[in-house]
A and B are shown apart, each in its own frame.
Chain A
Amino acid sequence: MAEEESQFEEFEQIDFLRDRHVRFFQRTLQVLPERYASLETTRLTIIFFALSGLDVLDALDVIDRNLMIEWIYSLQVLPTEDQSNLSRCGFRGSSHIGIPYSTKGPGVLHPYDSGHVAMTYTGLCSLLILGDDLSRVNKQACLAGLRALQLEDGSFYAVPEGSENDIRFIYCAASICYMLDDWSGMDIQKAIEYIRGSLSYDNGFGQGAGRESHGGWTYCAIASLCLMGRLEEALNQRELDRIRRWCIMRQQTGFHGRPNKPVDTCYSFWVGATLELLDVFQYTNFDKNRSFILSTQDRLVGGFAKWPDSHPDPLHAYLGLCGLSLIGEPSLRKVHPALNITQRAFQHLQQLQQTWRDSSAGSCRRQH
């Protein structure tokens, strides 16, 4: 927040500054200064935050959808002529490897080019948000790339050359399979075992077995199980009640991610959406949650920050909006709590999936 604003803090109305947020996301989509270099390999996730944020604000009209769609497709790692790179397919986070710009195949052979599971996830979400029909996504290649990332213990690497492996990437994998309507991309049973193994003694989920329970990883666990349609198979009622208790205890004013940590805007979504998936979000205190989120709103540049009087960033700007949407903020679109896109984008996905099923049923019939 700007220095000169602080003297007016006591008198400011907690009102929601829609237009500022629209402009915040518009600026995010343009040019960032060099000090944002650390975001290079995750640029596609930043695009997702901005696009989904604009969608929640019902302001997608401010961008040129087709240009965005083309740019996103240029990040797809497509199979080479000889299909030798299938286990490396998916979407890149950016052009940082130096592959020449192209939105069509075949893929270019390069010793270090591969997809990243979180980029494939946010890439697909972004295309859906933009109204694309995913017809240029090489689904089988994406699924092959996904299979290559799963370990024996059920968790996923992010990239085929190896990386850390944990529950975040299970969530990305489950989302990808869900969107592509094809679970051949992962071994669900193994993933469930890893998720169960990540359940902590205090009834939240850590990033893996033995690790401290945390709002973000709890979201990944529960949302993954919901997307797989296995929530009540993987966890019994007693466990679910205990998890509900852990989650609901995260509310202080807004929410924090771990006991005895400060509240942070993004957990209004991570924990809020988990509570929604567990059917108890209605029992949280909406007023205190809303007041906290809005206290982190940047009245000058728009967006939201993790804390009051901090710098806004695209992640908190987006998740702050999602947090407000969960409590029913009037001007905001509803968000699908497990997939983390608007219900509008989700309906577009459902229609697409119906067309895929119809056409495969049709081709079956034609064969007979």
Chain B
Amino acid sequence: MSAVEESSNDSVEVKEDSEFDAEAEDQLGDDHVLDPTRYIFYRDRKEWADLEPVPQDDGPNPVVKIAYSEKFSDVYDYFRALLKNNERSDRAFALTAEAIELNAANYTVWHYRRVLLQALSKDLRDEMRYITAIIEEQPKNYQVTCLSTWRLSSPRHHRRMVVEWLNNPAEELEFIADILSQDAKNYHAWQHRQWVIQEYKLWDNELEFVESLLEEDVRNNSAWNQRHFVISLTTGFSDPTIAEREIQYCLKQIRKAPHNESAWNYLKGMLQDRGLSSQPGLLERVLELKETHCSPYLLAFLFDCYEDALENSSQKENICNLLALEKDAIRKEYWLFLGRSLKSKHGISGNSDDLEPSVPASELFPTEPL
């Protein structure tokens, strides 16, 4: 059991400690019980005397060295000792919790903890409580930051493993909904949610959930993505009733918030493979909206409709100019480029598949892979 620091106010530590009280207490030395508020380094604990601590060794010229406190080093020196011996014991299990407390991003600690969970036949429901506490009370470990680009998402992965072993996703949708209520676009949370839904076939209420999020924020791109995810993997979009329903939904949201790329991306994404111009009446509805609810996305959609219909090059050129000069000026060069491509395409053929980029990507790579 980890000793309680004088200055500790961390409820997570207390919670997890109480779970291991019965077994861990047996392993405590006398000094520990005498004054539970005095932190004792592992190196000074009798019950750890059999282990040789293993320091971190960066050699003579360490780079990006992190200056750990004595306490931190002590815990991890003993963690490393346990790892080296591949010890399977309750004291090891307890120490992983302390190591996680100090650095929840250390994926080796989490992996070792999973090894111990299985080797010691730990109660996985207790582990679910533990991982829930870790994530909820240290939200920064669940947050997606740019610095976590190459970092393994240890708490999330751990949770997924435990859910898989328990084969019980009962808490997951609610747990994730809770995370999303604080950070509605959390990429990890949505990923976990998709996994749970697909793995355990929990589709039933998801569309409703998505709609409630879109009610709160119609610009939540993650929610739009989830909408597409649910429908494409349940009913699909090819049923004309479904397609019409979704089109209506999009247009309604666009009327509420015209300057919303997510809604337009959804509409286009849904229809682009079958052909934007193939949906009867859609072009007219969009032209109507253009008068009252215009946006760069609407105009781009119109352009794509005309492209798809292989129609009316002058209309397309007008839209490009409107976008370039007025409605989407930041992309002026791009819209002018598209306008120019139209001219050259019109000269060659009507088929956009023939249009080659000016410098092939392969020229950036003079060394071909073997």
Give me the interface of A with B, judged by CB distance under 8 Å. 28-34, 36-43, 45-47, 50, 64, 67-68, 70-71, 74, 94-101, 110-112, 118, 122, 158-159, 161-164, 168, 172, 177-178, 181-183, 200-203, 206-208, 210-214, 216, 226-229, 231-232, 236-238, 240-242, 245-246, 248-249, 251-253, 258-261, 264, 266, 277-280, 282-285, 288, 306, 313, 315-316, 337-338, 350, 353
Min C-beta distance of A65 to chain B, whole Å: 12
7 smallest beta-carbon distances between A and B, as pairs? A201-B269, A98-B80, A101-B59, A202-B265, A283-B334, A38-B105, A118-B150
Is there contact, CB below 8 Å, between A40 and B66? yes
Q: Are A261 and B185 within 8 A (Cβ)? A: yes
Interface membership of chain B positions 60-98, coded 1 if the CB is closer than 8 angstroms to chain A and 0 otherwise = 111111111100100010001101101000000000000
Q: How far is the CA of A277 from the CA of B363 in the complex (A)?
A: 10
Residues of B in contact (CB 8 Å), total: 91
> Could you pull out 14 A-B pairs where Cβ atoms are within 8 angstroms?
A31-B65, A37-B68, A38-B105, A39-B64, A39-B105, A164-B156, A200-B228, A211-B187, A229-B365, A251-B331, A260-B219, A260-B260, A279-B358, A350-B367
B108 touches A100 (CB 8 A): no
A38–B103 contact, CB under 8 A?
A: yes
* Known contacts A71-B58, A96-B56, A278-B361; is-contact A201 B270 (Cβ 8 Å): yes
Q: In the complex where A202-B269, A259-B262, A282-B333 touch, is A31 in contact with B57 (Cβ < 8 A)?
A: no
Mark each residue of chain B from 39 to 55: 1 if its CB lies under 8 Å from any CB of chain A, else 0: 00000000000000011
- A201–B228 CB distance below 8 A: yes
The complex places the Cα of A68 from the Cα of B65 at a distance, in Å, of 12
Question: Across the interface, do B191 and A98 meet the contact criterion of CB distance under 8 Å?
Answer: no
Complex CA–CA separation, A210 to B61 (angstroms): 45
Give chain A nearest CB distance to B239 CB in angstroms.
Answer: 17
For B170, the chain A residues whose CB sits under 8 A away are none
6 more CB-based (< 8 A) A-B contacts, given A101-B59, A201-B232, A208-B191: A216-B149, A237-B352, A260-B261, A278-B357, A285-B331, A285-B333
The residues of B that contact A237 with a CB separation of less than 8 Å are 352-356
Q: Please, how many angstroms separate the alpha-carbon atoms of A50 and B334 in the complex? A: 34
Residues of B within 8 A of A213 (CB): 225
Contacts of B358 in A (CB 8 A): 279
Cβ of B220 under 8 Å from chain A? yes
Is the Cβ of A212 less than 8 Å from the Cβ of B190? yes
Q: Are A203 and B269 in touch, CB under 8 angstroms?
A: yes
Rounded to whole Å, the gap between the CB of A334 and the closest CB of chain B is 12
* Chain A residue contacts of B321, Cβ below 8 A: none
| Pick from A30, A67, A200, A283: contact of B331, CB under 8 Å | A283
Which chain B residues border A99 with CB–CB below 8 Å?
57
A182 close to B370 (CB less than 8 A)? yes
Asked if B313 is at the interface (CB within 8 A of a chain A CB), the reply is no
**B152 neighbours in A (Cβ, 8 Å):** 41, 158-159, 163-164
Which of B60, B80, B104, B157 is within 8 Å of A164, CB to CB?
B157
CB of B108 within 8 A of CB of A95, answer no
Interface presence of B369 (CB below 8 A) = yes
Tell me the nearest residue of chain A to B228, going by C-beta: A201
Q: Which residues of B contact A227 (CB under 8 A)?
A: 365, 369
Flag if A315 contacts B149 (CB, 8 Å): yes
B284 contacts the other chain (CB 8 A): no
Residues of A near B364 (CB, < 8 A) are 226, 277, 337-338
Are A168 and B150 in touch, CB under 8 angstroms?
yes
Residues of A within 8 A of B369 (CB): 177-178, 181, 183, 227-229
B230-258 CB contacts (< 8 Å) to partner A:
232-233
Query: Is B105 within 8 A of A245, CB to CB?
Result: no
Q: Closest B residue to A67 by CB, please name it.
A: B61
Output the least CB separation between B192 and chain A (Å): 10
Known: A164-B152, A201-B228, A202-B269. A33 touches B67 (CB 8 A): yes
A116 shortest CB reach to chain B, Å: 8
> Given A237-B355, A315-B147, A164–B153 Cβ distance below 8 Å?
yes
Given A200-B269, A280-B334, A285-B330, A37:B225 Cβ within 8 A: no
- Which residue from chain B places its CB closest to the CB of A265 in the assembled complex? B146
Given A211-B225, A260-B219, A29–B66 Cβ distance below 8 Å?
no
